[in-house]
């Protein structure tokens, strides 16, 4: 399960104790609303995607990178994962540009909701991004409409079924294009009890067919509109991972890291 070494600690367990990553929280805004997301919680004790202590400017992000990269040679991966959506924020590309000029050896990755992925592939390639993670919680709009409140695309705000249809279609087109362009793509799927738990194998089959390398099924952290739901047990997550591992490579060492996480995933 998830032992292939892609050269990225979040994509395979083998790399997790050898290669470190630094998440630079420069992407403030988000273009969708997931019903489990609360980006207002940001203290140091919170550990979940979207949490960060402060949003940095690209220049501040470069300074942070310089400080940590010079003190730990294992820190090779520079990721932008939030607190909003990296592709919706021009600061993402500005940050990559600054770090690329400073360190030609830095390896870049992003974590995105996928709404803008199809539109930004060329920009990602120009920025030397090699790894992309897309959060895919549904591959049909009937399930997706329970998970997302709205989506903003091309200055138009979509709600309910329209938002769900748009996001599902854009994610799949973007993933296919990213894989064809040679990017290594991982899919994160949040296991949401009563909402997508019976849909996850279908997600695994769909993304595998689009060219995705590896899947990361994560238990819901119940915030915001989904705060009434229960966090799935380890057994529930492992059972679903087992069912999906014959379809697509699974990882099991994800820490659901913050947008400003730094260091090694495993010691
Ligand atoms: S894509 Fe990420 S940051 Fe945006 S609403 Fe969803 S969980 Fe929050």
Per-residue pLDDT reduced to its tens digit, 45-87: 556 666 778 899 999 999 999 999 998 888 888 999 989 999 9
pLDDT band of residue 259 (cuts 50, 70, 90) is: confident
The pLDDT of residue 245 is above 90:
yes
Residues 17-34 pLDDT 10s = 777 889 999 999 999 999
Of 250, 235, 159, the residue nearest 197 (C-alpha)? 235
Task: Say whether 15 sits in a helix, a strand or coil.
Answer: helix
| pLDDT per position as a tens digit, 176-224 | 999 999 999 999 999 999 999 999 999 999 999 999 989 999 999 898 8
pLDDT at 44: 56
Residue 1 confidence (pLDDT) = 53
Helix (H, G, I), strand (E, B) or coil at 194: coil
Q: Which has the minimum average pLDDT: 4-8, 61-65, 107-111, 153-157?
A: 4-8
Whole-angstrom Cα distance, residue 43 to residue 99?
A: 27
Q: Does position 131 have pLDDT exceeding 90, yes or no?
A: yes
Q: Parallel, antiparallel, or unpaired for β 20-23 and 129-135?
A: unpaired
Q: Which residues line ligand 1 (CB under 6 A)?
A: 30, 32-34, 37, 39, 50, 82, 84-85, 113
**Residue given tokens 């019976």 in the structure block:** 198
One DSSP character per residue, 199-262 reads THHHHHHHHHHHT--EEEEEE----GGGTTSPPPPHHHHHHHHHHHTTTSEE--------TT-E
Task: Indicate if the alpha-carbon torsion angle 44, 64, 12, 168 is positive or negative.
Answer: positive
Range 113-123 average pLDDT:
98
What residue owns the CA closest to ligand 1's atom 6?
34
* Ligand 1 centroid distance, CA of 51 (Å): 10
The strand pairing partners of 179, in sequence order, are none
pLDDT at position 43, please?
A: 56
Under DSSP, the state recorded for 48 is: S
Over range 243-256, report the average pLDDT: 88
Q: What is the pTM of this model?
A: 0.92
Q: If you ran DSSP here, which 8-state letter would residue 42 be given?
A: -
Q: How many C-beta neighbours within 10 Å does residue 164 have?
A: 24
- 3-state helix, strand, coil split of the chain in percent (to 5) is 35, 20, 45
Question: What's the pLDDT score for residue 4?
Answer: 64
pLDDT class for 261, splitting at 50, 70, 90?
confident
Which pLDDT does position 74 carry in this prediction? 83
CB distance 39 to 32 below 8 Å = no
Q: Whose CA is nearest to atom 8 of ligand 1?
A: 37
In angstroms, what is the span from residue 204 Cα to ligand 1's centroid?
Answer: 21
pLDDT, residue 47, reads: 61
- What pLDDT does residue 252 have? 82
**Topology classification of domain 13-264:** TIM Barrel (3.20.20)
What residue owns the CA closest to ligand 1's atom 3?
84
pLDDT, tens digit (0-9, with 9 covering 90-100), for 140-169: 999 999 999 999 999 999 999 999 999 999
Mean of the per-residue pLDDT values of the chain: 90
Residue to probe by mutation, ligand 1, list 29, 33, 34, most atoms within 8 Å of CB: 34
């Amino acid at each position: 399960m998830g032992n292939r070494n892609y050269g990225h600690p979040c994509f395979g367990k083998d790399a997790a104790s050898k290669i470190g990553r630094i998440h630079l929280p420069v992407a403030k805004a988000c273009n969708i609303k997931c019903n489990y997301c609360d980006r207002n919680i940001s203290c140091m004790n919170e550990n979940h995607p979207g949490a960060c202590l402060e949003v940095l400017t690209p220049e501040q992000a470069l300074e942070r990178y310089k400080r940590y990269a010079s003190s730990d040679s294992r820190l090779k991966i520079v990721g932008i994962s939030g607190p909003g959506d990296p592709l919706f924020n021009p600061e993402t590309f500005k940050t990559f540009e600054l770090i690329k000029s400073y360190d030609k050896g830095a390896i870049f990755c992003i974590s995105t909701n996928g709404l803008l992925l199809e539109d930004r592939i060329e920009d990602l390639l120009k920025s030397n991004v090699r790894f992309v993670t897309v959060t895919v919680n549904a591959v049909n709009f009937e399930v997706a409409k329970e998970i997302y409140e709205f989506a903003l695309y091309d200055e138009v705000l979509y709600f309910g079924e329209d938002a769900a249809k748009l996001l599902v279609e854009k994610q799949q087109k973007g993933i296919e294009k990213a894989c064809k362009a040679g990017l290594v793509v991982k899919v994160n799927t949040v296991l949401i009890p009563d909402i997508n738990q019976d849909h996850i194998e279908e997600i695994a089959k769909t993304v595998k067919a689009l060219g995705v390398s590896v899947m990361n099924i994560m238990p819901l952290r119940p915030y915001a509109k989904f705060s009434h739901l229960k966090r799935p047990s380890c057994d529930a997550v492992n059972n679903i991972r087992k069912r999906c591992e014959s379809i697509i490579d699974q990882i099991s060492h994800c820490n659901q890291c913050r947008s400003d996480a730094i260091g090694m995933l495993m010691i």
